[in-house]
């Protein structure tokens, strides 16, 4: 029982982690919690669905198509909405993200309707392997693996590539970055594209276990955001760990105590963490010497 | 310097009738200056005189209302900051602008940004020592190590700069500017917050940068001893207007400059 709960917790956790990562990547550069993240991922998932259904595209092609769409959508939203904001403060930026969240939600409802679709993911949730007392579906394994691979790629990207490092620099001090020859506007677009792309992966992995409709990302987004807050909005590693922790705790609580209060406990923990360590569990601190 | 070289040098960096207004305030009012290659040119003036605003225009952080900025015969007025960096103009700030969550090494490596060629794919996958990306990395690191040696930053190499003492942070910023391999270096009050010993070192380093690296330096500084000591030419401004220009002794004895610094009182024998 415990092992089973742990495993499914990890699977949900990895999805939360992806969403949290997507949010944190944007938060660190644009300094706004992007509440449109979920809808960006949802619409990208629908694009994958349409590509898959409308013609004979293989899953791989549809998947790549959706990723390209997601990246373009992210860059587009940054360019059209965020960049146009003149001397924005946090509140107006949040309102902008809520604005395009609603636009995207409306667009998806109009284009695909409220019907629940079925994204035919090539890996089944019903083929399972036994792992002692627990079972692990192929989809679980795929989710865990894809998430880990994606995180590893992100790690390499931020650690070693010129663009990744320029992104870090822009996050820490945009003016200094510009002075050192970094095109910060372009970096912002790339940031949004990357974040949207990660969200899209989460959406596509989520669609087979949830149902694909415009509400697909509603709860996962809140959980992902909560994970990011839990781990620390300024730390990529923290956000990812926050996702896993939230997934596991939530699942254990659901299994042992009460299924109805599963979500409540998740958000209860967030409140607790925010009271005790407001910047998140894993956010780095240093005391500035005066 | 022979006359011919001077002729070439005088075209190195020029500001022509620069004016910047903020609302109704003329922060910079019709300022012109001419900096020779490999010289140290200082801008002095009381607080709020518009010195940093001039720097911000050179950098492209502000767009001037009128006037021209010409670098090596090419007008750079109104270009984006990153384009100006690519042309070889680096700077430091009055209130340090570093990447606080990075180490000294990483900050300096970021200064090399415009010289890096490695793409995403090879950058994230260099596992072989001999690969092109690795070679490039090594080359840039060698360059940065030389700067670390020059500025005596060895002890801070792998520390997050946010936690370093103020004076050291200023040096890291200077180092990062040098890492860009600039032809023109803008230093905005480099000695602020340093003790007299650190200032002494700084004077040597700035001279080294001029002599050995052949960098032309535009300097804003309040420490008059330092300014008089290292400047080839000085421009004094007050309320955005130029009030005197020349070699240090000329500016030192310029009555307008004395008035701006010491007030309206009748000059007494004590001053000069």
Q: Do A178 and B85 touch (CB under 8 A)?
A: yes
Domain membership of residue B62 (yes or no) is: yes
CATH number for region A2-276: 1.10.3470
pLDDT computed for residue A166 by the predictor: 92
Q: How distant is the Cα of B99 from the closest Cα of chain A, in angstroms?
A: 5
Q: What ranges make up the beta strands (E) of chain B?
A: 13-22, 25-35, 40-44, 66-71, 74-75, 89-91, 184-188, 216-220, 233-238, 241-246
Distance CA A49, CA A204 (A): 9
Range of the domain at B134: 100-175
B81 contacts chain A (CB < 8 A): yes
Q: How do residues A40-73 score in pLDDT, each as one tens digit?
A: 999 999 999 999 888 777 888 899 999 999 999 9
Q: Return the H-helix or E-strand segment holding A24.
A: helix A2-30
Tell me if A24 sits within 8 A of A199, measured CB to CB. Answer: no
Domain membership of residue B31 (yes or no) is: yes
Domain membership of residue B94 (yes or no) is: no
pLDDT computed for residue A281 by the predictor: 84
Among B175, B207, B237, the domain-final residue is B175
Give the largest CA-CA distance in chain B. Answer: 73
pLDDT of A175 strictly over 70:
yes
pLDDT of B204 strictly over 80:
yes
DSSP bridge pairs for B245: B235
Tokens of A54: 């409308």
Q: Which residues of A touch B98 (CB under 8 A)?
A: 173, 176
Lowest mean pLDDT among A257-266, B86-95, B185-194, B221-230: A257-266
Q: Which residue has the higher pLDDT, A264 or B81?
A: B81
B175 contacts chain A (CB < 8 A): no
pLDDT computed for residue A285 by the predictor: 56
Are residues B32 and B141 both part of a single domain? no
What number is the average pLDDT over the span B230-238? 93
pLDDT of B266 strictly over 60:
no
Residue of A nearest to B112 (CA): A180
Domain membership of residue B39 (yes or no) is: yes
What number is the average pLDDT over the span A19-38? 92
pLDDT computed for residue B146 by the predictor: 92
What number is the average pLDDT over the span B217-228? 92
* Backbone CA torsion sign across B180, B184, B188, B194: positive
Tell me if B111 sits within 8 A of B175, measured CB to CB. Answer: yes
pLDDT of A187 strictly over 90:
yes
Distance CA A289, CA A284 (A): 16
Are residues B194 and B265 both part of a single domain? yes
Q: How do residues B19-56 score in pLDDT, each as one tens digit?
A: 999 988 889 999 999 999 999 999 999 888 899 999 99
pLDDT computed for residue A86 by the predictor: 75
Distance CA B202, CA B163 (A): 21
Domain membership of residue B93 (yes or no) is: no
What number is the average pLDDT over the span A100-105? 94
Distance CA A258, CA B117 (A): 56
What number is the average pLDDT over the span A212-216? 91
Confidence tier at A289 by pLDDT (50, 70, 90): very low
Residue ranges per structural domain of chain A: 2-276
Q: Do B118 and A162 touch (CB under 8 A)?
A: yes
Which of A156, A173, A179 faces B85 most closely, judged by CB atoms?
A: A179
Calculate helix-pair angle for B104-111, B166-179, nearest 10 degrees. Answer: 30
Which of A165, A183, A288 faces B82 most closely, judged by CB atoms?
A: A183
Are residues B135 and B160 both part of a single domain? yes
Portion of chain B with pLDDT greater than 70, in percent: 90
B138 contacts chain A (CB < 8 A): no
Among B144, B175, B206, the domain-final residue is B175
CA distances from A267 to A24, A209, A260, A279, B228 (A): 18, 22, 13, 16, 64
Lowest mean pLDDT among A123-132, B135-144, B173-182, B207-216: A123-132
Query: Please, what is the average pLDDT of chain A?
Result: 89
Choose from A132-136, B116-120, B232-236 the range with maximum mean pLDDT.
Answer: B232-236
pLDDT of B6 strictly over 80:
no
B111 contacts chain A (CB < 8 A): yes
Count of beta carbons in the 10 Å neighbourhood of residue A58: 11
Lowest mean pLDDT among A234-248, B114-128, B217-231: B114-128
Q: How do residues B240-254 score in pLDDT, each as one tens digit?
A: 999 999 999 999 888
Are residues B12 and B28 both part of a single domain? yes
Residue of B nearest to A154 (CA): B124
pLDDT computed for residue B108 by the predictor: 94
pLDDT of A288 strictly over 70:
no
Are residues B114 and B72 both part of a single domain? no
pLDDT computed for residue B235 by the predictor: 94
Q: What is the ipTM of this complex?
A: 0.82
Q: How do residues B129-157 score in pLDDT, each as one tens digit?
A: 677 788 888 889 999 999 999 999 999 98
pTM: 0.85
Q: Do A284 and B101 touch (CB under 8 A)?
A: yes
Among B175, B206, B236, the domain-final residue is B175
Domain membership of residue B95 (yes or no) is: no
pLDDT computed for residue B46 by the predictor: 87
What number is the average pLDDT over the span A259-283? 83
Q: Which residues of A touch B118 (CB under 8 A)?
A: 161-162
pLDDT computed for residue A286 by the predictor: 47
Number of domains in chain B: 2
Tell me if B148 sits within 8 A of B108, measured CB to CB. Answer: yes
Confidence tier at B90 by pLDDT (50, 70, 90): very high
Q: Which residue has the higher pLDDT, A149 or B265?
A: A149
pLDDT of B127 strictly over 80:
no
Q: How distant is the Cα of A180 from the closest Cα of chain B, in angstroms?
A: 6
pLDDT computed for residue B126 by the predictor: 66
Q: Identify from A163, A166, A179 which residue to disrupt to test chain B contact, counting B C-beta atoms within 10 A and taking the largest count.
A: A179
Count of beta carbons in the 10 Å neighbourhood of residue A141: 16
pLDDT of B2 strictly over 70:
no
A285 contacts chain B (CB < 8 A): no
Identify the CATH number of the domain in which residue B251 sits. 3.40.50.300
What number is the average pLDDT over the span A12-26? 95
Distance CA A198, CA B89 (A): 37
CA distances from A162 to A194, A248, B75 (A): 15, 35, 29
Q: Do B81 and A178 touch (CB under 8 A)?
A: yes
pLDDT computed for residue B8 by the predictor: 46
Confidence tier at A128 by pLDDT (50, 70, 90): confident
* Backbone CA torsion sign across B76, B82, B87, B90: positive
Query: Please, what is the average pLDDT of chain B?
Result: 87
Tell me if A240 sits within 8 A of A21, measured CB to CB. Answer: yes
Distance CA A135, CA B25 (A): 73
Q: Which residues of B touch A287 (CB under 8 A)?
A: 163
Tell me if A220 sits within 8 A of A38, measured CB to CB. Answer: yes
pLDDT of B5 strictly over 70:
no
Length of chain A: 290
Tell me if A108 sits within 8 A of A46, measured CB to CB. Answer: yes
Q: Is A221 left (phi over 0), alpha (psi -120 to 50) or beta?
A: alpha
Are residues B193 and B168 both part of a single domain? no
Q: Identify from B81, B84, B174 which residue to disrupt to test chain A contact, counting A C-beta atoms within 10 A and taking the largest count.
A: B81
Tell me if A131 sits within 8 A of A219, measured CB to CB. Answer: no
């Amino acid at each position: 029982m415990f092992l089973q709960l742990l495993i499914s917790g990890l699977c949900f956790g990895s999805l939360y982690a992806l969403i949290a990562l997507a949010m944190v990547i944007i938060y660190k550069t644009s300094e706004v919690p992007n509440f449109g993240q979920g809808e960006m991922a949802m619409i990208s998932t629908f694009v994958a669905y349409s590509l898959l259904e409308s013609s004979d595209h293989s899953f791989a092609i549809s998947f790549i198509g959706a990723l390209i769409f997601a990246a373009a959508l992210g860059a587009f939203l940054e360019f059209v909405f965020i960049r146009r904001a003149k001397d924005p403060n946090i509140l107006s930026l949040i309102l902008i993200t809520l604005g395009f969240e609603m636009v995207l939600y409306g667009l998806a409802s109009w284009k695909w309707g409220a019907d629940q679709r079925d994204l035919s993911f090539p890996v089944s949730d019903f083929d399972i392997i036994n792992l002692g007392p627990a079972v692990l579906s192929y989809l679980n394994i795929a989710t865990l693996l894809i998430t880990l691979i994606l995180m590893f790629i992100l790690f390499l990207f931020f650690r070693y590539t010129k663009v990744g490092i320029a992104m870090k620099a822009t996050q820490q001090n945009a003016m200094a970055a510009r002075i050192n020859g970094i095109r910060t506007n372009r970096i912002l677009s790339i940031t949004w594209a990357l974040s949207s792309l990660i969200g899209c992966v989460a959406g596509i992995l989520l669609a087979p276990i949830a149902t694909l409709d415009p509400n697909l990302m509603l709860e996962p987004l809140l959980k992902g955001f909560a994970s990011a807050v839990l781990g620390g909005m300024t730390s990529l590693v923290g956000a990812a760990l926050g996702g896993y922790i939230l997934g596991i705790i939530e699942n254990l609580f659901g299994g042992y105590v009460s299924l109805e209060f599963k979500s409540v406990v998740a958000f209860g923990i967030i409140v607790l963490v925010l009271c005790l360590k407001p910047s998140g569990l894993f956010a780095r601190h240093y005391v500035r010497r005066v | 310097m022979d006359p011919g070289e001077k002729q070439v040098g005088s075209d190195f960096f020029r500001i022509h009738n620069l004016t910047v207004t903020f609302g109704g305030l003329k922060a910079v009012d019709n300022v012109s200056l001419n900096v020779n290659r490999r010289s140290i040119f200082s801008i002095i003036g009381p607080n709020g005189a518009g010195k940093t605003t001039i720097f911000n225009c050179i950098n492209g952080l502000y767009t001037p209302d009128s006037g021209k900025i010409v670098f090596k015969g090419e007008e750079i007025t109104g270009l984006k900051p990153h384009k100006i960096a690519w042309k070889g103009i680096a700077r430091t700030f009055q209130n340090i602008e570093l990447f606080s969550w990075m180490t000294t090494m990483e900050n300096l490596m970021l200064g090399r940004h415009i010289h890096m060629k490695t793409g995403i794919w090879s950058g994230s996958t260099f596992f072989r020592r001999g690969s092109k990306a690795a070679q490039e990395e090594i080359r840039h690191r060698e360059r940065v190590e030389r700067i670390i040696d020059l500025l005596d930053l060895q002890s801070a190499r792998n520390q997050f700069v946010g936690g370093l003492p103020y004076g050291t942070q200023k040096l890291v910023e200077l180092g990062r500017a040098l890492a860009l391999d600039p032809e023109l270096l803008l230093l905005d009050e480099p000695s602020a917050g340093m003790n007299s010993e650190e200032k002494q070192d700084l004077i040597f380093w700035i001279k080294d940068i001029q002599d050995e690296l052949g960098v032309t330096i535009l300097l804003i500084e309040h420490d008059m001893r330092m300014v008089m000591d290292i400047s080839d030419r000085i421009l004094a401004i007050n309320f955005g207007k130029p009030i005197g220009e020349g070699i240090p002794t000329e500016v030192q004895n310029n009555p307008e400059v004395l008035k701006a610094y010491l007030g309206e009182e009748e000059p007494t024998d004590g001053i000069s």
